[in-house]
Amino acid sequence: MNINFFKLSKFLNFFSLILILISLFIIFNNKFEMGLEFIGGIEIKIYSKKNIDINFIKNSFVKYDGIKIRSYGSEKTLILKIKNNNSIKILDEFKNEINSLNNINNMELKILTMEYIGAEINDDIIKKSINAIFLSIILMFIYLILRFDLYFALSGIISLFHNIIIILCIISYFKIELNLLLLSAIFALFGYSVNDTVVIFDRIRENLNLKNNNDITSIINLSLNSTLSRTIKTSLSTILVVIILFIFNTDLYYFSLILNLGIIIGTYSSIFISTFYIYFLTNLKVNKNNLKESPDS
Partner 1 sequence: MISLKYNYIIIIVIFFLSLFYSLPNLLGENPVVIINKIDNFTDIERNKIIDSIKNKKNTKIFNENNILFEFNTIENQFEAYNTLKDCLPNDTKLYLDLYPSEYLKIFDKIGAKPMRFGLDLRGGVSFLIKIDINSVKKNNIKLQFNFIKNYLKKNSIKFDYIKIDKNSNIKIKLKNNKENFYIFNLIKNKFNNLICIEDSDNILSIKLNKDEKKNLKKNLIIKTLSVLSNRINELGISDSIVHQYGKDKIIVEIPGIQNIDHAKSILGKTATLKFMFLDTENKINKYLDNNKNYGSKLFYDKNKNSYLLKKDIILSGDSIIYATSGFESNLNKPCINIKIDKYSAKKFEKITMKNIGRPMAIVYKENYTVNNKIFTKEHIISIATIMNVLSDNFQITGLNINESKDLALLLRSGSLPSNISILEEKVIGPTLGKTNILNGFKSFLISFFIIVIFMLLMYKKFGIISFISLLMNVLLMISFMSILGATLTLPGIAGIVLTIGMSIDANILIFERIKEESVKNFNINETLIKGFNNAISSIIDANLTTLIIGLSLFILAYGPIKGFAITLSLGIITSIYTSIFVTKNLLFLVKKF
- Which of 183, 204, 179, 174 shows the shortest CA–CA distance to 259? 183
Q: Smallest gap, in angstroms, from Cβ of residue 16 to partner 1?
A: 22
Q: Smallest gap, in angstroms, from Cβ of residue 242 to partner 1?
A: 7
Phi, psi of 42 (to 5 degrees): -130, 140
- In the complex with partner 1, which residue's Cβ is closer, 30 or 129? 129
- In the complex with partner 1, which residue's Cβ is closer, 133 or 170? 133
- In the complex with partner 1, which residue's Cβ is closer, 192 or 276? 192
- In the complex with partner 1, which residue's Cβ is closer, 17 or 121? 121
- In the complex with partner 1, which residue's Cβ is closer, 19 or 239? 239
- In the complex with partner 1, which residue's Cβ is closer, 47 or 173? 47
Q: Smallest gap, in angstroms, from Cβ of residue 75 to partner 1?
A: 16
Is the torsion defined by CA of 205, 210, 213, 214 positive or negative? positive
The upper half-sphere exposure of residue 57, i.e. CA atoms within 13 Å in the direction of its Cβ, equals 29
Q: Smallest gap, in angstroms, from Cβ of residue 288 to partner 1?
A: 29
Axis crossing angle, helix 253-293 with helix 5-30, rounded to the nearest 10 = 120
Q: Smallest gap, in angstroms, from Cβ of residue 170 to partner 1?
A: 19
Phi, psi of 52 (to 5 degrees): -95, 135
- In the complex with partner 1, which residue's Cβ is closer, 20 or 114? 114
Q: Smallest gap, in angstroms, from Cβ of residue 248 to partner 1?
A: 4
Is the torsion defined by CA of 50, 51, 56, 57 positive or negative? positive
Exposure string for 22-56, b = 16+ CB within 10 A, e = fewer: ebeebbeeeeeebbbbbebbbbbbbbbeeebeeee
- In the complex with partner 1, which residue's Cβ is closer, 176 or 199? 199
Q: Which residues pair with 45 in a beta bridge?
A: 79, 113
Report the alpha-carbon angle 125-139-234, nearest 5. Answer: 95
Q: Smallest gap, in angstroms, from Cβ of residue 6 to partner 1?
A: 21
**Exposure of 267 by Cβ count < 10 A (0-12 exposed, 13-18 middle, 19+ buried)?**
buried
Distance in angstroms (rounded) separating the CA atoms of residues 76 and 250? 13
Q: Smallest gap, in angstroms, from Cβ of residue 294 to partner 1?
A: 38
- Which of 277, 284, 279 shows the shortest CA–CA distance to 16? 277
Distance in angstroms (rounded) separating the CA atoms of residues 11 and 13? 5
